[in-house]
């Protein structure tokens, strides 16, 4: 039994090393930061955020304040049993994560859905991806990417589902494990976040469920490396709203690069059919 445990541990370590190397080669972790710089430099992309800014800030501040006032001390007391002095940091990250999740749940459901779609599509248009965006909405003539956005034909940004919320709270106990548990929690969150950031891209490419699954599996390390810094950015109180938009821009820039490099291989549908 001891030998089997050691062998399994070695195999898992090798798998993690392989995924880390693939993530590093992909460079996907750069896109959340590219999204920030690109968003700041292109003021035209600010329109969707500006139109929803007041209610989103109010929601973020209210939820974060409530969570720190009423949940920080109880959770810190529990985490101190497992984490000792590190409980202060672990609890702050935990409460921020909880606040961000609740704020995103409310904001995406009530305010942000259309704004994020417009931001993603506008970024693609600014990168010359008119033919792709036209698969999901009408395109008006003109030079301003945001002004060219017409009526939506498809809405891919799904609101938070009960399954997603349940999965999130299932991961929370990982924070009881000092340092390593918090890191694992962020990795798991990032792994889910990455593919979700390209939900609009998959739809505009008219990918079937099988094709999306195949596409994601081939780039799982890259999507995780994108998702981890993106999740961390959205954990920042209040400013996480801003980063939700810059992450969307970063995801669109990545999608545009994938298109320009031809890495959404024409044979993707053939591969999916073979998998069936």
Q: Is residue 207 part of a domain?
A: yes
3-state secondary structure labels for all residues of 216-250: HHHCHHHHHHHHHHHHHHHCCCCHHHHHHHHHHHH
Residue that wins the pLDDT comparison between 30 and 6? 30
Which of the 8 DSSP states describes residue 140?
-
Q: Is residue 57 part of a domain?
A: yes
3-class state of residue 141 by DSSP? coil
Q: Is residue 263 part of a domain?
A: no
Q: Is residue 20 part of a domain?
A: no
Retrieve residue 240's tokens. 């996480």
Pairwise CA distance, residues 220 & 166, whole Å: 22
Q: 35: closest CA among 157, 127, 149?
A: 127
Q: Is residue 264 part of a domain?
A: no
5, pLDDT greater than 70: no
Residue that wins the pLDDT comparison between 166 and 118? 118
pTM of the predicted model as reported, rounded to 2 decimal places: 0.78
Pairwise CA distance, residues 247 & 236, whole Å: 13
Count: domains in the chain: 1
CA 135 to chain centre: 23
Q: Is residue 179 part of a domain?
A: yes
Q: Is residue 17 part of a domain?
A: no
65, pLDDT greater than 90: yes
Q: Specify the range with the lowest mean pLDDT, choosing from 103-117, 148-162, 165-179.
A: 165-179
pLDDT in tens, 66-85: 999 999 999 889 888 877 88
Q: Which domain holds residue 131?
A: 29-258
For 139, phi then psi, to 5°, come to -115, 125
Q: Is residue 89 part of a domain?
A: yes
Q: 224: closest CA among 255, 259, 186, 177?
A: 186
């Amino acid at each position: 039994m001891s030998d089997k445990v050691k062998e399994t541990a070695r195999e898992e370590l090798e798998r993690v090393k392989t995924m880390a190397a693939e993530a590093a080669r992909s460079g996907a972790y750069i896109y959340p930061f590219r999204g920030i710089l690109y968003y700041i430099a292109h003021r035209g992309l600010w329109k969707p955020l500006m139109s929803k800014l007041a209610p989103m800030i109010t929601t973020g501040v209210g939820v974060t304040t409530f969570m720190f006032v009423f949940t920080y001390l109880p959770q810190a007391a529990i985490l101190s049993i497992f984490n000792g002095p590190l409980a202060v940091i672990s609890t702050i990250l935990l409460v921020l994560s909880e606040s961000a999740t609740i704020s995103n749940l409310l904001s995406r459901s009530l305010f942000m859905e259309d704004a994020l779609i417009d931001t993603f599509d506008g970024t693609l248009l600014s990168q010359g991806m008119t033919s792709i965006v036209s698969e999901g909405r009408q395109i008006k003539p003109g030079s301003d990417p945001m002004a060219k956005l017409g009526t939506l034909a498809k809405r891919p940004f799904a609101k938070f589902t009960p399954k997603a919320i349940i999965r999130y709270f299932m991961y929370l106990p990982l924070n009881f494990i000092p340092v390593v548990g918090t890191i694992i929690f962020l990795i798991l969150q990032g792994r889910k976040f990455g593919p979700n950031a390209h939900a609009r891209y998959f739809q505009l490419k008219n990918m079937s469920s099988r094709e999306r699954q195949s596409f994601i599996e081939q780039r799982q390390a890259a999507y995780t490396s994108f998702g981890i810094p993106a999740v961390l950015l959205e954990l920042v109180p209040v400013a996480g709203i801003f980063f939700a938009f810059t992450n969307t821009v970063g995801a669109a820039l990545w999608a545009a690069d994938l298109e320009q490099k031809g890495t959404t291989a024409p044979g993707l549908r053939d591969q999916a059919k073979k998998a069936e």
